[in-house]
Each structure stands twice: as structure tokens, then as C-alpha cells.
Amino acid sequence: MMLFRALLVVILVALSVYSAVVVANHGLNLLPVFFGDMAEMAWPGQFNFDFMGFLVLSAVWTAWRHQFSPLGLALAVVAFFGGMMFLTIYLLVVSYQVKGDIKALLLGQARALA
């Protein structure tokens, strides 16, 4: 679990630094660029469309893990728009909440106990 948590921290720090540089150079104008690349039907758009699939899976898993409760649905929205920045923090926090129990981490407390 410590290696997993270390990986999450490395990803979070690297992504934060990279994002800060991109925002400093290009501003927060992500959505027109993201969807514009997809509209062009070229490789950058294909990558964005593929990535959006991961965002959907992350959001659905987050909602499912919380049994589609209001909190789970709210977190799903954050997961979709927050991407890996959300997921690294979420998994770090939850990994400590479940005391490293991978079953509870993946399934949620209620399903892990069933």
C-alpha cells in the first residue's frame, strides 16, 4: 500500500506542477481546446476522446463505490471534471480511511463487509 500511495503522490505532484505551467502559459481555457481537438477528428482529439472514457469510468466507479448516494453522485461530478487531480487525492484519503484494506478501497466499506 505504501508504494501505491507513493505513486499517487508522485502523480499528484507532477500533474500539479505541469498543470500550473500550462495554466500560466495558456490560461484556464481547457474546454474549447479539448472539444475542438475532438471536432477536428485527428490524433489529439482521439486521445481526448479516449481520455474522456477514463473520466466517465472514474465517475461511474466513484458513484457506484458510494452506492449512488447523493455524496457519491456529487463526487462523481468532481471525478469527471477533476480527472487524475481528483482521483489521486480521493484514493490517498480513502486508503487511509480504510487502513490500507484494498477490498474496502475498491468496493467501499458496505460491500467489503458483505
The answer to whether residue 13 scores a pLDDT higher than 90 is yes
Please give the residue range of the domain that contains residue 24. 2-113
Residue 96 is predicted with a pLDDT of: 96
For residue 12, what is its C-alpha cell? 499528484
* 58-88 pLDDT tens trace: 999 999 999 999 999 999 999 999 999 999 9
Note the pTM of the prediction, 2 decimals.
Answer: 0.90
Task: Please compute the mean of the pLDDT values over residues 26-30 and round it to a whole number.
Answer: 89
Tell me how many domains the chain contains: 1
CA dihedral 33, 25, 89, 5 (to 10 degrees): 110
- The span from the CA of 28 to the CA of 31, in Å, is 9
For residue 87, what is its C-alpha cell? 482521483
The answer to whether residue 109 scores a pLDDT higher than 90 is no
* 30-52 pLDDT tens trace: 889 999 999 999 999 999 999 99
Mean pLDDT of the chain: 95
Q: State the alpha helices, DSSP H only, in the chain.
A: 2-26, 30-39, 43-65, 70-97, 102-107, 109-113
- The span from the CA of 106 to the CA of 102, in Å, is 6
